[in-house]
Amino acid sequence: MLRTAILRSAAAATRVAVRPVPQIASRVTIAPVMRTTSFAPKAVAWQGIRCYAAGGSLDKEEVYERIRQLLAAFDKVNDPKNIKETAHFSNDLGLDSLDTVEVVMAIEEEFSIEIPDKDADNIHSIDKAVEYILSQPDAY
């Protein structure tokens, strides 16, 4: 008896009452829209899909400019005038290995990406960083 009552209440909860929305008087004819009056869960399985829009990629000048601004704000750079497209982090900008790691982490934050350690070891100059960022489809 309890089982029957539970099944009846569950069946009643899943029924969705549908009533038409009244027409609006205007020159344009509007098709009747069905509106649900119950918030009962429907037996529909949704599948998550991640969509990407085309044409949102970065160009080389924009990436270089953002990295240049990031390095100009970095207080351990010996001379901001040395920041050029081919500048090496340690030879031209006076950064040691720990500072280079900090720069790579700042680049990760700036472009909202994660750079694996094996790839981060190869980024020692601005042009290598720009090249890596341009190869990442998720960078923005």
Which residues are known catalytic residues? 96
Instruction: Report yes or no: 98 and 91 within 8 Å, Cβ to Cβ.
Output: no
* CA geometry: angle 105, 96, 135, nearest 5 deg: 40
Tokens of 63: 């990436």
Six-digit token string for 68: 């240049």
Spatial separation of the C-alpha atoms in residues 117 and 90, rounded to whole Å: 18
Q: Tell me which H or E stretch contains 3.
A: helix 2-14
Which residue is associated with the tokens 């920041």? 83
Q: Which strand (E) or helix (H) includes residue 103?
A: helix 97-111
